[in-house]
Chain A
Amino acid sequence: MKSHVVLAALAATLAATSAFAEVAPTEVTFEEGAVAQSLTGTAGNAEEGSKIVANRALGNCVACHVISANSADFQGNIGPTLDGAADRWSEAQLRGIVVDAKHTFPDSVMPGMFKTGPYIRPGDAYTGKAAPADLPPILTAAQVEDVVAYLLTLKE
């Protein structure tokens, strides 16, 4: 009990003194589709990113995109290959596409990974039931940054 209180106090202090508050999905600023500002203020972890893009419950980017450098099986071909993505796009552009690609490609079928709506009949994950009022984005801010860091390693 006591240690929990201490930990909570410590966490509160850290949060209060942290120089950067996470950007909320509704506060993301796009400039021609790109998002210049990091969502967390901390560099993403490319190694984590490589797992998120392959994980069906998280980004599952390989469902639609080929990433030759990734060992994920059954990579799809709905979207363009991500091989060499870092040669074609800047960090800000990649972040914008991951957050919500429709700001870059208005007709894209790609889901926005860091948005909370407005949606038509949003559901609670894959249950088929209605979403809770506070439906979280598909990826957290930190996970988006991890994915962006990973995409920046994809050079040809």
Chain B
Amino acid sequence: MTLRTRATMFAAAAALACGFGPAMADPAEAELVVNEDITITTKAPAAAHLEGHLDTVYSGWLFREAETRKMQMDDFDNPMFVYAERGQEAWDTVEGTEGKSCANCHGDIAEGMKGVRATMPKVNAAGNLWSMEDFINDCRTNRMGAEAWKWNSDNMKSMTTAVSLQSRGMPVAVAIDGPAAEFWERGKEMYYTRYGQLELSCASCHEQNYGNYIRADHLSQGQTNGFPLYRLKDAAAVSIHQRFVGCIRDTRAETFAAGSQEFRELELYVASRGLGLDIEGAGVRP
């Protein structure tokens, strides 16, 4: 960057800070309306369990540049719809030894999967905490007689995208009490553990420093309500656990695996920090 553009940027920042807008570091004052139709809550009072930690919760969408935010406001501009279409196709496709498709048991995805994403991750009938990926693979292997999909495969991301969109605009609704409580407690402990050679916890960046910059990265609260989402930097869809892997790796730590018990517990706790926000179905981030 040349000195002149730097100077211009600083002048612009100063003008914003002093005159006619929020300081650059704050989340944007913007409303997320998709297709001029679906209003999505991106800012809400924090859940009671966050007392003393956060007053207000913000979707990561509010921390992004106007250009990126706009991509999520129209399904034609949102690259996640390539995945959604593939997922919808797979939903209706018979696969495996039992001769079934998802639709055979669950019907139309719009009805069968309505609200499902908002409750994930969730304790299953056997008492295990499962992410949406686990439920999908359980159906595939045990009901369809089909092969399990890899956690971060395009097939899996396409299906989780198609399913997530059926909760778009619905509030995050994870259960954290009852059988989920022990998993939630462990997830919380993980959130505040300072991992790796850089000794950073999730909270170091996403609770203590959201709104601030690490080099060019504008730190958000690390909310998961926008996942699965399109990451422009990767030019691909990214799952929640995939982002967890990246964050822990970036603390110079030995990371955990996508799909691990640890990440399911962390996923539950982080999802609960987003109580009050709406599921975005398929977000777009830089």
Contact = CB atoms under 8 A, between A and B. Distances in A.
Interface stretch (A31-39, A128-136, A145-153): A128-136
A131 to B, nearest CB: 7
Given A111-B199, A112-B199, A123 B249 contact: yes
Contacts, number: 84
A62 interface: yes
A125 B255 CA distance: 11
B53 to A, nearest CB: 14
- Interface SS of chain A: loop
A77 interface: yes
Interface string B244-281: 01001111111100000000000000000000000000
B216 A120 contact: no
Contacts of A56: 215
A118 to B, nearest CB: 10
B128 interface: no
Contacts of A129: 254
A111 B195 contact: no
Interface in B215-238: 215-216
Interface residues of B, number: 29
Contacts of A62: 215
A78 B200 contact: no
Interface in A73-112: 73-78, 109, 111-112
Contacts of B1: 73
Interface string B154-191: 00000000000000000000000000000000000000
Nearest to B248: A128
A35 B208 CA distance: 28
B30 to A, nearest CB: 22
B252 A126 contact: yes
Interface residues of A, number: 29
Contacts of A77: 25, 212-213
B204 interface: yes
Nearest to B1: A73
A74 B213 contact: yes
B214 interface: yes
Given A128-B248, A130-B254, A120 B195 contact: yes
B212 A138 contact: no
Nearest to A71: B3
A125 B252 contact: yes
Given A62-B215, A78-B209, A121-B254, A128 B197 contact: no
B48 interface: no
A46 interface: no
Contacts of B254: 121-124, 128-131
Given A109-B204, A128-B245, 15 more contacts: A63-B215, A73-B1, A73-B6, A74-B213, A74-B215, A76-B212, A76-B215, A77-B212, A109-B209, A111-B199, A121-B196, A121-B253, A122-B196, A128-B248, A131-B252
Interface of A: 56, 60, 62-64, 73-78, 109, 111-112, 119-131, 135, 138
Q: Which 8 pairs across A and B sit closest by C-beta, in order of nearness?
A: A128-B249, A74-B216, A128-B255, A111-B198, A130-B254, A109-B204, A123-B253, A76-B213
